[in-house]
Amino acid sequence: MTRTLTHWRRVVALLAAVVGIVATATTAAPARAAAGTGAGAPPRMTDGFGLTQVDTAVGGPTTFYLTVTTPQVAGRHHIKIILPSGYYDDPARRYPVLYFLHGSPDDPVQQTYPALSTSDAMITVIPDGGARGWYANWLNQNTPAGAQNWENFHLDQVVPFIDANLRTVATKKARAVAGVSMGGFGALHYAQDRPELFGQTASLSGDIDLSADSMDLRLAVVASLIDAQGVICGSSSGACDPTNDPYKPGVDSDALFGTPYPFFNADWRWNQADPSQHMDKLAGVGVSVYVGNGRGVATDPEFWLEGASKHVKDRMDALGMPYYYVDYGDGSAWGSQCNGGHNGGCWEQDLRDLIPRLERAFAS
């Protein structure tokens, strides 16, 4: 039992950074504002495509969030929207869109990176990805977590909902998907599954290698499913807060992609979803990858994610694909807030680099 707990403590430690349990810059929630078109209010959004708004929008005219329900995913979900400062100045102008996917167990409202509000040339949409939704349609929809069709929610509902309600340029070339940590996986996964939707994709410290070669990263995903954090809380006397556990209720390890264990190809669904094995699907999509090295310390999961990103780079090299790749190492030359670890300071600098590049790609 002691050896088992020690193993899961190591995996949970990896989970804690791989899926984004980090201190990121946050601000107080904006004051509630009624939906509408009056001064200081967010634009009025019309329900549709399976989404139902269940509360008034919160925020101001250019940065606000909605709360929606959908049959595709159990519960209520936030969608944060950041409009260019000049959105209301020219009613005829349309804008490209960046879909930004958060890590685990974050929420769209917590995505307060200053860089996300710097662009006057595009709309940014941050949909809820759940504490451990993994930006996928789960194999098992009958767990205590309820319906978990995250990919359907985002690609078949949120994207057309945004195009119908905001002045977007609704084309592949004017649409990008990027994400941090768990969201980095989601960004490449979505662009691979639906390359007709996205012209650009970017992983920021993403878990983009789910192959058996990166088994610790695969088990970190499993840890979020089975609530290994809760298991350890209930099995040890160490400091633990079981009342603040984002991974409840625990579900079976096979709920997401079936068995994660590579015996007789039983893990084929994991391989099917693994971005590193399907980079050929991104032909015609601009690919960006950002990663650090965790200062070379194996206890910092960025160290392991660097290996995952290098695997993806090797696959792209073998395919002769163009790409943009930044390994900022210990972060010493990557902005004043980055120390090379798995944290918001490094992701802010990633975004400061990525957003102008997306603007240029959209403009071209």
pLDDT average, residue stretch 66-71: 98
What's the rounded mean pLDDT across residues 334-346? 95
What's the rounded mean pLDDT across residues 215-234?
84
Locate tokens 């015609």: which residue? Answer: 284
Q: How confident is the model at residue 301 (pLDDT cuts 50, 70, 90)?
A: confident
pLDDT at 351 over 60: yes
Q: Provide the residue range defining the domain that includes 231.
A: 2-363
Task: Report the predicted TM-score, pTM, of the whole model to 2 decimal places.
Answer: 0.91
Lowest mean pLDDT among 128-142, 202-216, 290-304, 306-320: 290-304
| 217 vs 5 pLDDT, higher one | 217
Number of domains in the chain: 1
Higher pLDDT, 130 or 5: 130
The residue among 237 and 251 whose pLDDT is bigger is 251
Tell whether the model's pLDDT for residue 4 goes beyond 50: no
pLDDT at residue number 9:
52
pLDDT tens digits for 93-108? 999 999 999 999 999 9
Instruction: Of 122-131, 291-300, 333-342, give the lowest mean pLDDT range.
Output: 291-300
Domain of residue 44, CATH code? 3.40.50.1820
pLDDT of res. 193: 98
